[in-house]
Amino acid sequence: MFSSEILLLAERVLAGSRARGWRVALAESCTGGLVAAALTAIPGSSEVFERGFVTYSNEAKSELLGVPQRTIARFGAVSAETAEAMAIGALLRAPVALALSVTGIAGPEGGSAEKPVGLVFFGLARKDGDCRSLSHEFPGDRDGIRQKALFAALQLLEAETKSL
């Protein structure tokens, strides 16, 4: 299901989190649970991976993660503000040290001049109060964009588990 590169990266995320005693939660939209699936493909992942929220609709983002509807209305579901709110929501709803969110436009429809197909925002929130977002614009078709977002999400988690 996953490439050996993805599985090795997932193993490093789990090892880094385990070494710090961290548990991790995810809030995924455009990846539809791919990040959670990659992590849970690794035996022993339950020591680190706590839970994942697949919040594809705006309503799910608000109901399950507490993303304010005014945030989505003002900035859009695909925005730095929504990505941060999703990550914070996951962090507050799970006994974890680290939460990552993914929201984007995988296409083929849904893009605009301001927010093209391939635009993906990631949010990272830690129990110590650190929260930030970043974005990438990935080329390709829907499957390619989702795979690139999965890879980038795992890279962000890996970097975060090494950062302290």
Give me the pLDDT at residue 162, please.
Answer: 87
Give me the pLDDT at residue 121, please.
Answer: 98
64-71: long-range contacts (C-beta < 8 A, 24 or more apart)?
64/89, 64/93, 65/27, 65/89, 65/90, 65/93, 66/92, 66/93
Give me the pLDDT at residue 1, please.
Answer: 84
**Which are the contacts of 44, defined by CB distance < 8 A and separation ≥ 6?**
14
Per-residue pLDDT of the chain (164 residues; tens, 9 = 90+): 899 999 999 999 999 999 999 999 999 999 999 999 999 999 999 999 999 999 999 999 999 999 999 999 999 999 999 999 999 999 999 999 999 999 999 999 999 999 999 999 999 999 999 999 999 999 999 999 999 999 999 999 999 998 65
Give me the pLDDT at residue 164, please.
Answer: 53
What tokens appear for 17 in the block?
């989190």
* CATH number of 4-162, picked from 3.90.950.20, 3.40.50.300, 3.20.20.70, 3.90.650.10: 3.90.950.20
